[in-house]
């Protein structure tokens, strides 16, 4: 049985830990509001941008002059998986869930005889992926020194991916991130960005009302690279909000668990102290009777 001093030290240690987790919860809550606003503000633009590209892509169809980013290379043998996670931990299952989805996709592709390459964004994703898919690892984007992720960061990542595509390093690119829903729900998501894919428009005939100058192919050739950067930026914003939401939830759970542990240790401390006092009283009474 631990001594009273040991129990007292443990109680104080857990109290200090609870102060830290409570402070981290409050910081995450403050950051969450800004990150959530940024993620939600980006969604209308991203959806409308993709709708415009989808309309142009539908009008081009399977034309031989369609940009390579839309038509693809004609093969799907080599896949690039861009795994986007956080630079820090202590955010519950946020990082592990994204990495788990990417690993499952990689194993599925390998089982189908495909070649898999992995590019990571975020230190936690790199550490997790390298353990099981080290042979497929081809690069990492470090955002440790970035205080607030901006569109410039997304453009840098997009340029790297596009350069690899132009160099013939892969045929299909998919990004993995967490879509923010609320504080307790962040959905790991896989989204193909090369070749570009678009959801069908509700009014498929609307594109016939427009004449494009220059041609649809020329417009797509200019907009598709921006579309890749836009999708990556939207994913980074979703990840930012999801990370803060997951951290806030994890630190709240840790704070409550620390409180429960303090209560249990306090009860154990009181019982041990009562046992010591009882033992000392027995010794005093026994000594008095012996006299």
Q: Which residues are catalytic?
A: 91
How far from 11 is each of 237, 253, 265, 271, 273, CA to CA, in Å? Answer: 39, 18, 6, 14, 14
Alpha carbon of 210 to those of 55, 56, 213, 238: distances in Å?
10, 10, 10, 33
Q: Which two tokens stand for residue 112?
A: 């189908």
Residue 280: Cβ-neighbour burial (10 angstroms; 0-12, 13-18, 19+):
exposed
């Amino acid at each position: 049985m631990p001594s009273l001093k040991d129990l007292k030290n443990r109680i104080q240690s857990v109290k200090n830990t609870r102060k830290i987790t409570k402070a981290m919860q409050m910081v995450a809550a403050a950051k969450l509001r800004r990150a959530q606003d940024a993620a939600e503000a980006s969604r209308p633009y991203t959806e409308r941008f993709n709708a415009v590209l989808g309309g142009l892509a539908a009008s081009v169809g399977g034309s031989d002059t369609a940009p390579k980013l839309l038509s693809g290379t004609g093969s799907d043998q080599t896949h690039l998986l861009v795994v986007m996670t956080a630079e820090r931990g202590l955010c519950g299952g946020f990082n592990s869930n994204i990495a788990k989805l990417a690993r499952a996709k990689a194993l599925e592709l390998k089982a189908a005889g495909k070649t898999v390459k992995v590019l990571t964004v975020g230190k936690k994703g790199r550490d997790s992926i390298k353990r099981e898919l080290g042979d497929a690892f081809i690069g990492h984007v470090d955002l440790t020194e970035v205080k607030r992720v901006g569109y410039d960061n997304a453009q840098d990542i997009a340029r790297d991916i596009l350069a690899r595509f132009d160099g013939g390093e892969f045929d299909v690119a998919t990004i993995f991130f967490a879509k923010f829903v609320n504080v307790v729900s962040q959905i790991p998501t896989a989204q193909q960005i090369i070749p570009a894919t678009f959801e069908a428009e509700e009014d498929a005939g609307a594109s016939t009302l427009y004449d494009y100058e220059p041609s649809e192919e020329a417009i797509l050739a200019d907009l598709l690279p921006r579309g890749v950067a836009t999708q990556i930026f939207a994913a980074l914003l979703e990840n930012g909000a999801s990370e803060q939401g997951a951290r806030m939830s994890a630190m709240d759970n840790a704070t409550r668990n620390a409180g429960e542990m303090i209560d249990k240790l306090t009860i154990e401390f009181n019982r041990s102290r009562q046992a010591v006092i009882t033992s000392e009283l027995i010794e005093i009474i026994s000594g008095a009777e012996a006299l």
